[in-house]
Amino acid sequence: MTGSDKLIRDPLWDTIRLDPTAVRIVDTAEFQRLRYIKQLGLAHLVYPGATHTRFDHALGVYHLTKTALRHLRERGGVPPEAWEGEELVPYAALLHDIGHFAYSHALEELETEHVPAHHEEVSQRFFASPSLRDALAPLGLTASDRIAELIRGDSDIPLRGLVSGSLDLDKMEYLRRDARFCGVPYGEVDVSRLLQGLQLLEDPSTGAIEVGVHEKAISSLESLLFAKYQMFRNVYWHHGVRSATALYKRIVEESVRGGLVDPEELIGPTDEELLYEVGRRAMEDDSEVAERIATRWLPALRRRNLPKRALELTAADLAGRRVEDWAVGDSPWKRAVEDDLAAELGLEPGEVVIDFPVKLAMFQLDVLVERLDGRIQRLDMEGAEGILDLTKVAQELYTSARVLRVFTFERRSLSADQVLERITRPVGAT
């Protein structure tokens, strides 16, 4: 440790040591902003302890990345070219969430006309800031661009898998941290065993070197996948969390549609800054939607008077039917159905929300495995003989975790037929 290193106490990892470059990054206004972006968005309205932030999480990912690099170095046995770009990897881990919107992932579910871009693309705008460029300057003139590529998953650096991929340290960190602060037992991942099992392996098909894992650590990889399923089912997609998220998204969506907020203005504000500014502008505007936001929706969110479940349909209830693609995200067609239902239920436009969460990469798996007999084999969603047949298991877990809900801003009830006929069709029908 040098005199310019900094030690940070952390409830998960005990002591996190920041090197001088990391200290410069953390001290920028762009990074300090992450202190005021909640890691789990509106989940604290259901799990009161979930007030941890993107700042905490980013430090944890940096720590795990440094630990993983040390393990890989100590193991040895790989050619020098495998370490090309190594010096950038810890800072890519530290900065991987720099572009997050207020309340984290919620706004990324909106249509592209209402939100500028995914947070990983928005990160590039933060890298353009003079203070962050100055912090990264000792790493070279192209450092910010190469770090942005690592974050987006576009890099050709052999160690890129530590930042983006099936074994990235982001997943290991957030599952442990989220479970700890929500007070639930679902996110336990054997992080130590996984880190010890990491290998730099040569792809037998291409000869390229990438981050992989030894077969002995496969059970720890399985624990990561099942922990992810449990956390989505019980925390991230909890009905109360989804209800709060639906209300928040509708507030922002209507603010953009009504001209109160420009989509570009969603880049930069912290959680409270965005809600305050939306509320201030709504109070000064005399439109009907502004009045609704200022006097009903924002106060309801702050008082935790969340939308109610008018209908909830599980995978079993949806058996034999397929939800239309346009009803999964936020689309004009879905909004038209929602507003038709609102009119039928005596509610204002915007006060019915159909929610069917999606996470296509929930069980992303594409990783090289060193077998016990020394063979290198790729483990992907097709599985691998004698290791893990994930395809069927993953689909069944994903299906069971998803629940179709209809939320109403005042208590109402709906029949399944009122919704299913409008947004689903029989499997096999065209």
Q: Which residues contact 280 (CB under 8 A, 6 or more apart)?
A: none
Exposure string over 61-91, b if 16+ CB within 10 A, otherwise e: bbbbbbbbbeebeeeeebeeebbebeebbbb
User: Within the chain, which residues score under 70 in pLDDT?
Assistant: 1-3, 117-120, 383-391, 430
pLDDT at 330: 83
- Residue 424 bridge partners (DSSP): 323
Instruction: Report yes or no: 227 and 189 within 8 Å, Cβ to Cβ.
Output: yes
pLDDT at 430: 67
pLDDT at 304: 97
Phi, psi of 342, deg, nearest 5 = -60, -45
Residue ranges of alpha helices (H) inside 183-270 are: 191-197, 218-231, 239-257
Q: State the pTM of this model.
A: 0.93
pLDDT at 380: 79
pLDDT at 7: 96
pLDDT at 110: 84
Report all structural domains of the chain as residue ranges with CATH numbers, in order of start. 9-237+360-401 (1.10.3210.10)
